[in-house]
Chain A
Amino acid sequence: QTTVKGKVTDDTGMGLPGVSVMVKGTTNGTQTDANGNYALSVPGKNAVLVFSFIGYTAVEKPLNGQATVNVNMAADSKSLSEVVVIGYGTQRREAVTGSVASISGDKLTEVPTANVTQALQGRLAGVDISQTSSKPGATTQIRIRGTRSLTADNNPLIVLDGIPFTGSISDINPNDIKSLDVLKDASATAIYGARGANGVILITTNRGQKNQKARVSYNAYAGSQEIFAKVPMMNGPQLAALRKEAKVYTSNGVDEDDAVNTDWQDLFFKTGAVTSHDIGVSGGTETGNYNFGLGYYKNQAVVPSQQYSRYSFKASMDQNLGKIFRVGFTSNNNYNLNEGGQIGTFGAYAFSPLINPYKSDGSLKRVVNMASGDSYVLTSGVVDSLTNNGLWLNETRGFATYNSFYGEVSIPWVEGLKFRTNLGLDFVNSNNGNFTGQGVNAVNATTVSNAGISNSQTYHWTIENLLTYDKTIGKHNFNVVALYSAEQNKYNRSSVSVKDIPAEAFQFYNLGQAAGEKTIDPNNQDYQLWGLISGMGRIMYSYDDRYLLSATLRSDASSRLAPGHQWHTYPAVSVGWNISKESFFNVSKIDMLKIRAGFGQTSNQAVQPYATLGRLSTRPYNFGDDVYETGYYVSSLPNPKLGWEYSKTTNLGVDFSLFNNRLSGTAEYYVTNTKDILLAVGLPETSGVASITQNVGETQNKGVEISLNGTILDNPDGLTWQAGVNFYTNKNKLVALASGQLRDEGNAWFVGHNINAIYDYEKIGLWQQNDPYRSILEPGTDDDVIGSIKVKYTGEYNADGTPKRAIGEADRQIIDVDPDFQGGFNTRFAYKGFDLSAVAIYRHGGVLISSLYGSSGYLNTLTSRNNNVQVDYWTPDNTNAEYPRPGRHLSGDNPKYGSTLGYFDGSYLKVRTITLGYDFNRSLIKNNKINLKAYFTVQNPFVLFSPYHDQSGMDPETNSYGNENAAVPLSQNLRRILTIGTNTPSTRNYILGLNLTF
């Protein structure tokens, strides 16, 4: 017997208390003390010590005769893998049988952003986060394992500290987040039943630790933002040449000259800035703990006057009251201010470069005349000056408070039985005010001022009564939960707009002073009240950690559905087998191997309240100049049978850990079938009514998800290299539409295809002089048609080989938009105090729609109506071009079939961040009480493998819903198709930050 001593430290050099130190293959062991030191008697000099601690990768060290063994433990890349949050409780990772993906707060803050979902992009398999706007403070679209529903909501349920979250996820300060867990399959989400079909994201914020001295942390970063890439618009000579070629605009405008070359993007965009400060205090005693945090975030966009700032305050406390009572609360609050959203970027691209915006004295013209008409001149200087003088404002002030309180009783006479009541009280308030001074952004300088306000409030309460029972009998472990909950949400929005504020200093603060028309548009007022009542029971059982079972039954009733169809009950069950715990299992390279399977049902009630009732829409009308009335007509029929949409999911998974936990991973396969889809069915015009919401149709999502995390090199004193990668596919298809119907062309839904399909022609080239059958397929004169877009003909041919008809509607193709596969990877190198890390996302296949190139954007009309993106267009001397002949064969203002010019292969690999950090504790600061780390991050440094990027130089990530940010966007019902439009441009950011703890 010899004694071995040593110290266990974490990757910052701090001693780690409470680490288990065992002699391998024995029950002999100890724990480290408060400073991380240990001493242990061992049987021989060749024993192997095993160091393990929750949240850290276990380390095995052969003694090799040494008497002192110091160990540096790295935080497990799945640092929370030991305990995951599963909803109404937590579970040890190895006992989990459903599909749960987790990420820790410190991983999320590797990508410094205002919105945690942006940091989540590409980090978790099966969690697809798409950018829907690039404005500061914007939120994202989250899809977990694909899109299930057609017109009902596809957003996952977010649960913040146990309470269903009603606000915007951007209200949550990423620095307050301790962990984020995503429940993906039905067996995991069944406990959230009615709202679980789209997956559940559980966000847990920081709390204080028991017996912890007060600890202060300060995190800050600041940086600049530059446009990722300018839109490649034509320069002066190029546009002048296009105008002559197109012959649509026969004359330059008064302010245009072929000799001028103005770059409007240079005049309009500026350098943006981002700043973030967070300070937190936490601590704890034997019986209680606390945590407070203050945060400040500000992002000034590259678009002048556009900015977002957020002030957040977070507090949580837990306190034992005697032996059996425990109470606590969490409060997340924020105030945010969003400004300048009214400033569009279209003009910066569309303005003709031939315009000379300056008068002879060098000052800017107020209005310029180009061939297509007059325009108000917008440069960053003009916008800044108007904003600073209070003449052009659009600001939204949001205040939100999300609170949960709980009281818990440990029933004294039954060990393991607890009763708990959770109360959630949330309030979200949003005030928008806008003001446009006289003549601002208007061709006519006497255009009257206008102002408006819009206010909305959300009141949300949740009450949950939970009975839990934990019991271990020998190797049998039980956890039983019973729940009854009720929830109600009330939303109210009011909006008023006016014209002609006589004293401009009033802005929007007293609309009653307006001299002009005051409008309360009935379409801009809203009231919604909905409620949900639920009961749930869950049992989790494990035997010796080898055999695992979880079973759930939940019933929900929703006010949104028709009476008689409001209740639904669904079961879920999942099982797991930890093969590596079996005595017969003896594979030295495999540390852990678990297989699991789950099946369950969840549902979706996510139609708007009152959808069962039908609706009258309004039409205002004037009888003469003085009698005003509002008319009504039926736009939606009632449906007294509207019921639940539900999904059945089967999930198979394997979790493993290999090579002394150097490589761990998860692979899963799932199938989700969704039936009785809630669908706003578009009716033919002849029915006299636009739509009705019905339970029709079926969809299916199936996919494979693989995540791997590895430590490739592991030398605490030298180079450590860790890497993680995830890969996932989701095959989404519509299985059925209403009553045997196979296609709904109006909504672009086709059985057997993606829900996100588009229905359009397929460009196969341009018509050339000698192409056969041109005059049959695409009738018209040679001068008009030759050089125009040639699309695929799918019709029949006569015996002599001639096509039977001209190209028309029937030749449109179904184009699936979803990618083949996608995912992300991250890697980290550490060498002494330095570490270098990178996070990247990728997707392959699918279709990217850019309205900058397609006809909806009016930036590729090839008529010189606006400035045009630089494209290689057909002329009689350049017949090998990709883009059509300017000004010929138009449909509307664009080339016929011009929408096909906006479709690109959606593949890309985008490095989101590269960060170089340095830990000062490794050199300058030897004081263990202070931790200081500094880093430099580049966001969006580069994009690879993207055909769109290759063509345009621009960021291939979407930035708009289909019905936004284009001159003639897609219709509302195709909003689901995300596009790249004229939103605030994507940026490349350079950020310097530090983390300080003491």
Chain B
Amino acid sequence: CNDLLDEQPRSFYEPGFFKTERGVAGGLTSMYAHLRYMYGQAYYYNTTLTGTDEVTYAQSADGNFKVMDLSGQGIIDPSTSRSDAIWGITFSNINTANGVIENASSIGTISNALIAEAYFFRAFDYFLLVQTFGGVPLDLGSGELKFNNTATRTSVRNTVPEVYTKAIFPDLLKAVADLPAAPRVKGAATKTLARLYLAKAYLTYGWWLQNPNNIPTYPETARTDPDGHDAAWYFQQAYNVANEGIDNPGPFGLQGTYYDVNLGSNDRNNEILLYADHTETSEFYNGGSLIYGSGGAPDNFAGWMMTWNYTNIRSGGVSSVQREAEQHLGRPWTRMCPTIGAIKNTFADKVNDSRYDGTFTTVYRANFQKAEGAPPVVTNANGMQVGPGGAILTFLDNDDPLVTYANGNANIGAGVLPGRADYVIAPSGISRLVYPGLWKLGPYRTDNDGGYGQPNAGSTRPFNIAKFSELYLIAAEAAVKGATTVAGKSARDLVNVLRARAGKWRFDNNGNVAKVADNSAAMTAATPATIDINYILAERSREFYGEGYRWYDLIRTQKWEELSKTYQICGADVGDHTPVTVTRDIKPYLYLRPIPAGQLNSLDMTDAEKQAYQNPGYN
């Protein structure tokens, strides 16, 4: 009769399954899957951009976005900060990595290359955490870097140098040593990827040791390295490792044109080292509806944020640009928008440099003809007619005194230029309501079948996390910070590799016509003789605009306040095209995000201990 009291689960795995070969494989898969809870998750995405020189909040922004702007629209605190996305997913993943590393050695049949993926992801998560929050715990309950099987309701934060020297560097060195050059499966971790992160971690830690602008850290600790090196040593390591990555690319490299890097039909190309993958071939494995996204992870819905509500456009009363699952369009949430400075200054060269055209949607084209019973043409600006595919609204490259705005224009307060059938908006007229969309992250589907497709679904494209091109900028930054360079790889040389590529055109994205041009010479000629950090940062913005790098770049280099304290944008009302300068209040304590309220709520510690656990400034 005691059989009645025995238990054998048959529909889920108990933790013991991790001790099998299949279990280890499943643990690795979940490390890739965990990326989706951060990359493509729009609220976290927002924390990487809003409040920097790249992005401010847009007209429909809710509190999640406004607080990040630091312009008096609310304060970042433990419950409003959306960096909770990282905190909420990484520790569980670190624990999975701990388990895989521990169990793999006891199973004995798991290759070092596979275990290296776990080392990579443990370092990846710790690197993200230490940049975002400062020092974080290495002991989850069962000892430092040990798989946790203890129900602990307390937590002790390690210091920043401990996290780097005990976890991030050793793990990444192991990953570099053991990962294969080519991925074992599409999108899996490689030696090149590990080199990128190791170089970036060295670079970041070098900056942290140097601390040029006296930004506080937490938990408080001396800016000395337990391993006995100084900042210069780390900058040199960053340079060396990045260089190794460039010299030993494996299957990776740069795409021929910048346009191809982010073109939907060219996703998972050889420039991309890591991405949070998605697919339109399986709703289940995609992790989000293929029809209607609800705006939550693991869906990839970051691209909705910088998409303004272009569906408000009317041409002679007809809704001429309708919601479509097409890379220029997609689902409008109007939560984030580029600053005028980003458009006018960062992308000052819109002629030679293809990166402006390969980043933004600047021309909104008629797609009304895909609706049932549509008219053949619509009446647009100046009473002129526009047919299917014609330009309805164009964001001009340059300000033009002839543009006249009126509230009724296109129903969105657009401007007109004499003789042009399309409505126009000049760079200085970009507002929180109407602004160039982020083409890079737009949706790409192959199942639209000539119609509008499923624009309300999350993006089925991978969300790119790491690119081969960044190796050049890391090496260049290390060089600027004093690393000894090898011949032909000065900071200027490295930057020019990307600038030369940016000068190459094969397609005019917003003109929607083939355009073969090579402006490489003009691009490299325009590179200043001496590269400084601000130039590196500007180049990073041109290369990676809107991809979630910016806040981390600015806090690493401690240039956040300098570059972002003011920005320009026009207001949120229809027809408001008067740029105003907004000032942000970026205090030094904000360089660390608050520990999320959820963590503090579930800690079994005294109020004083919890206060000491929280980063200063957020109590």
Contact = CB atoms under 8 A, between A and B. Distances in A.
A631 B27 contact: yes
A619 B433 contact: no
Task: Among A529, A633, A779, find the residue whose CB has the most chain B CB atoms closer than 10 A.
Answer: A633
Interface stretch (A125-133, A517-525, A575-583): A517-525
Interface stretch (A37-45, A57-65, A228-236, A891-899): A891-899
A684 B29 contact: no
A689 B284 contact: no
A5 interface: no
B33 A620 contact: yes
Given A631-B30, A741-B604, A893-B62, A374 B286 contact: no
Contacts of B285: 620-622, 628-629
A739 B32 CA distance: 36
Interface string B1-41: 10111111111111101100001011111111110100000
B29 A626 contact: no
B159 to A, nearest CB: 15
A684 B599 contact: yes
Given A620-B287, A891-B63, A892-B64, A631 B4 contact: no
A634 B11 contact: no
Contact of A625 (B62, B78, B281, B598): B281
Task: Among A373, A634, A891, find the residue whose CB has the most chain B CB atoms closer than 10 A.
Answer: A634
A687 B96 contact: no
Interface stretch (B149-157, B381-389, B485-493, B539-547): B149-157
Interface residues of B, number: 106
A893 B78 CA distance: 19
Contacts of B375: none
B190 to A, nearest CB: 13
Interface in B267-307: 268, 277-287, 291-292, 298
Task: Among B92, B151, B601, find the residue whose CB has the most chain A CB atoms closer than 10 A.
Answer: B151
A623 B75 contact: no
B482 interface: no
A250 B410 CA distance: 13
A686 B59 contact: no
Contacts of A738: 153, 604
A74 interface: no
A621 B12 contact: no
B136 interface: yes
B566 interface: no
Q: How large is the interface on A (under 10, 10 to 19, 20 to 34, 35 or more residues)?
A: 35 or more
Given A624-B268, A892-B64, A446 B451 contact: yes
B284 A521 contact: yes
Given A686-B136, A686-B137, A633 B92 contact: yes
Contacts of A620: 33, 284-285, 287
B5 A566 contact: yes
Given A620-B285, A621-B29, A632 B278 contact: no
Interface stretch (B255-263, B452-460, B557-565): B452-460
Contact of B283 (A517, A637, A781, A809): A517
Contacts of B153: 681, 683-684, 687, 738-739, 741
Given A517-B282, A615-B12, A631-B30, A531 B599 contact: no
Given A609-B7, A632-B23, A688 B604 contact: no
A688 B454 contact: no
Contacts of B519: none
Task: Among A517, A558, A619, find the residue whose CB has the most chain B CB atoms closer than 10 A.
Answer: A619
A612 B151 CA distance: 13
B285 to A, nearest CB: 4
Given A447-B291, A610-B9, A689 B456 contact: no
Given A624-B279, A633-B27, A687-B140, A525 B11 contact: yes
B283 A559 contact: no
Contacts of A690: 92
Contacts of A637: 15, 148-151
Contacts of B240: none
B9 A630 contact: no
B282 to A, nearest CB: 5
A638 interface: yes
B27 A626 contact: no
Interface string B330-358: 00000000000000000000000000000
A638 B73 contact: no
Contacts of A689: 92, 95, 148, 151
Contact of A616 (B17, B77, B93): B17
Interface string B549-590: 000000000000000000000001110000000000000000
A690 to B, nearest CB: 7
A631 B100 CA distance: 12
B101 interface: no
A694 B62 contact: no
A461 to B, nearest CB: 11
Task: Among B7, B433, B598, find the residue whose CB has the most chain A CB atoms closer than 10 A.
Answer: B7
Contacts of A739: 153, 604
A610 B7 contact: yes
A638 B291 CA distance: 38
A245 to B, nearest CB: 14
Interface in A561-590: 563, 566
A532 B28 contact: no
A533 interface: yes
A312 B268 CA distance: 59
A488 B2 CA distance: 12
B77 A808 contact: yes
B72 A519 contact: no
Nearest to B37: A619
Interface string B131-157: 000001100110000001111110100
Contact of B31 (A522, A631, A638, A779): A631
Contacts of B266: none
A519 B11 contact: no
B188 interface: yes
Contact of A250 (B3, B63, B155, B433): B433
A525 B599 CA distance: 31
A250 B312 contact: yes
B511 interface: no
A970 interface: no
B287 to A, nearest CB: 6
B140 A622 contact: no
Interface string A760-798: 000000000000000000011100100000000000000
A246 B15 CA distance: 52
Nearest to A493: B11
Contacts of A890: 62-63, 66
A616 B64 contact: no
A622 B29 CA distance: 9
Contacts of B13: 615-616, 632
A610 B14 contact: yes
Interface in A453-503: 486, 488, 499
Interface in B54-105: 59-60, 62-64, 66, 72-75, 77-80, 87-88, 91-96, 98-99
Contacts of B75: 779, 806
A431 B411 CA distance: 52
Contact of A632 (B7, B27, B279, B319): B27
B151 A684 contact: no
Nearest to A528: B11
A247 interface: yes
14 contacts: A250-B433, A527-B9, A531-B3, A532-B4, A563-B5, A634-B95, A637-B149, A685-B92, A686-B136, A686-B599, A690-B92, A741-B604, A745-B601, A891-B74
Q: Ordered nearest first, which 7 A-B pairs have the shortest CB separation?
A: A631-B30, A688-B95, A531-B4, A631-B29, A624-B186, A745-B601, A619-B33
Given A619-B287, A631-B28, A632-B13, 17 more contacts: A248-B59, A373-B456, A521-B284, A527-B10, A531-B3, A609-B9, A616-B18, A620-B285, A624-B186, A629-B29, A631-B31, A631-B32, A634-B15, A687-B148, A688-B91, A740-B604, A741-B604
